[in-house]
Amino acid sequence: MSVLDVFLFIAIVSIWGVLVVNLILTISGYTLYLKQVKQPAPELPDVPPFVSILVPAHDEGIVIVKTVLALLSFDYPKDRYEIIVINDNSTDDSAQKLAELQHDFGQERLKVINTDAKTGGKGKSNALNIGFHQSRGNILAVYDADNTPESSALRILVAQLLDSPQLAAVIGKFRTRNKNASLLTRFINIETLSFQWMAQAGRQRLFHLCTIPGTNYVIRRDVLEKVGGWDVKALAEDTEISFRIYQMHRRIGFQPKAVTWEQEPQTLGVWFHQRTRWVKGNIYVILKNMHLLFQKEGKPIRFDLLYFFAIYFLLMASLILSDSVFVLTVAGAVHSDLQGFSNGLWLFAIVMFVASTFLTITTEKGEMTLRNLGLIVVMYLVYSQMWLAVAAYGMVAYFREQVFHQKVKWYKTKRYQ
């Protein structure tokens, strides 16, 4: 066996290892869905806790009114929650629109914190910390500025959190509000559904683990105080704080009955910048915690560390090698005795990917269609390669910033009417 074949064999094993793990997670997530769909939503106590809802917002004038109105429409008792919008160094008309809303609904229900270039404009974590320090609730909820949560979302999240003292936080489900805007948003709609029933529900079922997704979640105030708030260096502040919660030996729960609808990127450029930020943010979290992998205190985060490492390092390198060998073999530049074997496994991988992904979208009304089945096939051939490109670019960008001590820049995702 040649050196090339040895590396190709390792790549094949790595790719299939990740695929098998994801298949197991998908099946586990689906069994959790079958169990939860029959259960009623949890109930609040007669006197529910006071909740502070934090909404970080930078130049969100296009969407902020719709979001705030949705938050004001929760069926949670009106005198038991406050909304705090951190208008973070915005240069658009956000401040004016928020002032009008505050005039209509009162400062008790809607608090607006306007930051400037000195106090704000430093990313989502900094904005959340500013809002946290001015909040009153024993429970904090976080929503992105492009979200329109369903009226029951907050009530269900809080009730689930109160159900177990071991729970430090509870996350809900997010859906794609603009899924029909473009082919890209249709891909993202399927991707988010698959991710939530695989990486979230599946990990909860098997390992009692979930990762905070950045929006539509509640967290206990005492937990935030113990971890010191959000890490201002983290672009993926949600993953980073999840890892610190794990290390406290506390749990994060997944409650899919609590739903929010959010905007997703409609163009490739916006998607690329958003996902590059995610990649760099997750690499930061992996490297920050990697020293704990084989230490006793790292046991609660061991699976996730290995899982994230496999996705962002092992799988990416293996896919690049596999794709390169395929192209070079077709071009006649190299020869591999394993290429035929690799191609057969590749075709089988498509079948497994399509079947497992389609299984996850059967959990949602109206998604189990032949059109979506075709989209899933195209996703494997096209969208997966797009992810590979952004993952490679994000990794190079992250290490370039570290080597040359470049300041990390927060990229704001473009919004749409």
Q: What is the pLDDT of residues 116-126, one digit of tens each?
A: 999 998 999 99
* Residue-level pLDDT at 246: 94
Is position 405 within any domain?
no
Q: Is residue 284 part of a domain?
A: no
Q: Give residue 1's pLDDT.
A: 65
pLDDT at 5: 83
C-alpha span between 108 and 285 (Å, rounded) = 37
Question: What average pLDDT does this structure show over 262-279?
Answer: 95
Residues with Cβ < 8 Å from 307, sequence gap 6 or more? 21
Query: Is 118 part of a structural domain of the chain?
Result: yes
| Mean pLDDT of the 137-158 span | 98
- The helix (H) or strand (E) run that includes residue 238 is helix 237-247
What's the number of domains the chain is made of?
Answer: 1
Dump pLDDT digits (tens) for 308-362.
999 999 999 998 888 888 788 878 888 777 766 667 777 888 899 999 999 999 9
80 inside domain? yes
pLDDT value of residue 340? 65
pLDDT at 6: 87
What does the pLDDT read at residue 333?
A: 83
Residue 337: per-residue pLDDT: 78
Q: What is the pLDDT of residue 205?
A: 94
**Residue 360: inside a domain:** no
| pLDDT(70) > 90 | yes
Note whether residue 409 is domain-resident.
Answer: no
Give every CB contact of residue 19 below 8 A, 6+ residues apart in sequence: 349, 352, 353
Is 272 a residue whose pLDDT tops 80?
A: yes
pLDDT at 202 over 80: yes
For the entire predicted model, the pTM comes to 0.94
pLDDT at 408 over 90: no
Taking the C-alpha atoms of residue 133 and residue 277, their distance in angstroms, rounded to an integer, is: 26
Which residues share a beta bridge with 262? 147, 176
The CATH number for 79's domain is: 3.90.550.10
CA 64 to chain centre: 21
Of all residues in the chain, what percent carry a pLDDT higher than 70?
98
Residue 90: inside a domain: yes
Report whether 105 contacts 118 (CB < 8 A).
no
Q: Is residue 222 part of a domain?
A: yes
Query: pLDDT tens digits for 3-41?
Result: 888 888 888 888 889 989 999 999 999 999 999 888 898
Number of other CB atoms surrounding residue 71 within 10 Å: 24
Torsion angle of C-alpha atoms 40, 45, 49, 52, degrees rounded to 10: 30
The residue range of the domain holding 75 is 44-185+215-267
